[in-house]
Chains A and B, each alone.
Chain A
């Protein structure tokens, strides 16, 4: 294996990174309800020699304040189901499912992932999340979410217990090829990073700039060393979206076309969901209703205050705030340019120690993934920075991680 190899994951939630993505002429919003679509996408990811396909998850319906949005792509089909079906039509690509430790018992989790690990022949990964959205609680009989500290200490216990259960499943047979799923984490807070340092073999994170990537990876590597683990046993995989074109001008025009599909109504629905507060009945041309937001939001008001107060003081309208919020989403790096430029940028990040690879989030699906696989992958391969064949059949071997040491009975 090349030592400066770039790893790539494909984060394929819904119909793309942009809320407008589903309306793109090369998007297939009806596809997410058919096996043909998932079969096509899975084979495309494997053709692109991606390490893994990743699906995020939510345990609540989209929307805010009990109102279901009309303009956002939903619903979200169960990620483990989609990934297991994608495994059935591929041979190498890994499958990373997001599952909550707060709303699954270790027994439920271990049985589901143990079965997935077997039927995929050792290609399963578990993105460990504790769930944060306040609307989740009611779906599991709770009035409110457990506090963050409780969720993380519980997560550590759940992971430990699940690992014991997998060891028992492995001994009982049929054998688990990887011993257990690869453990993946995406926590950003100090508690989340500490948990990841102890647990994660791969980390998904936002990194809007190369400097942010370097800071995050250095911090994680030092935390990992600090708990006595080898930092080379963990892959750091920041999110990366892109809009490509044959020339820079064409790429910018393609980006503008995605932006131009945005409507104020969609932007306000998207903002409402992100703030956990229904803003659809407010006048979009009036000032951002900061007081109402802070009163109604279900999220911690300090966090929401940091997001909205500066705009409120400037007198920004709800319309402008919502549009700007939607078009610059989620703190991930968005690349706009040619495939050559993108490959160079990726190599620069990798060589600077900003990442071990990237978690690609196509701007719309499946067109955005097609463009990347056809345009960028061959360049990375020609430059000797990306695999042309898979090294083995398990996700662990694809990631170049040391073999999992099976616990003694």
Chain B
């Protein structure tokens, strides 16, 4: 499996919701080769990130678009649908980071469970789209979720397709921890053996020593870095320059975000390994 050095950053600037500014931030993210851009973060979420990643989908080419979703102000049925659509519009570049943001303990975990069950209600190969026979889909591949958690009870099936990624890349942040053990990415202040995710990214600043990061990456304790940006246009090129050698020496794969970053869907996270397939029409 691919083992790229992953570059991630978060923007919590309210101006990210202003089109002219958002466009310059997205261009900078793509130009500097950023792998993941978090829209908002714990303690800084002055917008609805799910809306902004939709706008960003056609305004970016490469960067992974990660929506910070507050468990206190969202419902898994809406979240599952919104992120499914973003994943199609971005050709498989969607992520989400669920933070409690004041919700009762367990709500964020319940949100993850409910949304996953909705995405899993649609099989990868549900769509047929055969104009000649009139068969649009294979109904046996669509299942009601009947999810019942402590906070959310969702019958399903959701009226949104399983995403291209199967499920969007799930990001945990140790500044707002939630009890999920099979996420894709964990943002950590210190390397830890039980971060709860396939890969850990070390939180850094522009003063972080590259040698220390290189050593941790070589030991397999981290898979890249994450930085919270306060001045994105100034900091993004510096962040990229600081870690340029590590990135160049450890490139990502080809394909969608999971393929590029080496993040297969965890078998505990989904009832099937693949994302949606859209039949081609002659």
Measuring CB to CB, which residues of chain A are less than 8 angstroms from any residue of chain B? 22-25, 27-30, 33-35, 38-39, 58-62, 66-78, 80-82, 84-85, 87-89, 103-105, 107-108, 111-112, 114-116, 118-121, 135, 138-141, 173-174, 261, 263, 265-266
Contact = CB atoms under 8 A, between A and B. Distances in A.
A82 B160 CA distance: 12
B22 A119 contact: yes
B73 A108 contact: yes
Contacts of A72: 136
Contact of B81 (A77, A107, A108, A115): A77
Contacts of A35: 57-58, 88-91
B85 interface: yes
A113 to B, nearest CB: 8
Contacts of A135: 155
16 contacts: A29-B129, A30-B281, A34-B88, A34-B89, A35-B90, A70-B137, A74-B136, A74-B137, A75-B159, A77-B84, A78-B78, A81-B86, A81-B89, A118-B17, A119-B22, A173-B14
B217 interface: no
B138 interface: yes
A76 B158 CA distance: 9
B57 to A, nearest CB: 5
A81 B51 CA distance: 6
Interface string B117-141: 0000010000001010011111100
Contact of B19 (A22, A119, A140): A119
A81 B139 CA distance: 25
A174 B17 contact: yes
A378 B89 CA distance: 31
Given A23-B134, A77-B81, A105-B73, A68 B157 contact: yes
B155 A67 contact: no
B160 A78 contact: yes
B68 to A, nearest CB: 12
A370 B129 CA distance: 22
Contacts of B54: 80-82, 84-85, 88
Contacts of B153: 138, 141
Given A70-B135, A70-B139, A115-B47, A77 B88 contact: yes
B241 interface: no
A66 B144 contact: yes
B17 A119 contact: yes
Contacts of B73: 105, 107-108, 111
A106 B77 CA distance: 17
Contacts of B82: 78, 80-81
Interface of B: 14-15, 17-19, 22, 47-48, 50-52, 54-59, 73-75, 77-78, 81-82, 84-86, 88-91, 122, 129, 131, 134-139, 142, 144, 152-161, 276, 278-281
Contact of A76 (B56, B74, B144, B159): B159
Given A38-B89, A70-B136, A141-B154, A116 B160 contact: no
Contacts of B135: 70-71
Contacts of A119: 17-19, 22, 51-52, 55
Contacts of B129: 22, 29-30
Contacts of B144: 66
Nearest to B77: A139
Contact of B159 (A34, A62, A118): A62
B18 A174 contact: yes
Interface centre among A23, A30, A111, A266 (most CB of B within 10 A): A111
A38 B17 CA distance: 21
Task: Give the residue among A72, A114, A115 with the most B Cβ atoms within 10 A.
Answer: A115
Nearest to B80: A78
Nearest to B129: A29
Given A68-B157, A116-B48, 20 more contacts: A29-B136, A33-B88, A61-B158, A61-B159, A69-B136, A71-B134, A75-B158, A78-B81, A80-B54, A81-B54, A84-B55, A88-B56, A108-B75, A115-B17, A119-B52, A139-B156, A140-B154, A174-B14, A174-B15, A265-B134
A68 B48 contact: no
Most buried by B among A39, A61, A81: A81
Contacts of B90: 35
A119 B90 CA distance: 17
B113 to A, nearest CB: 14
Given A71-B135, A74-B159, A112-B48, A85 B55 contact: yes
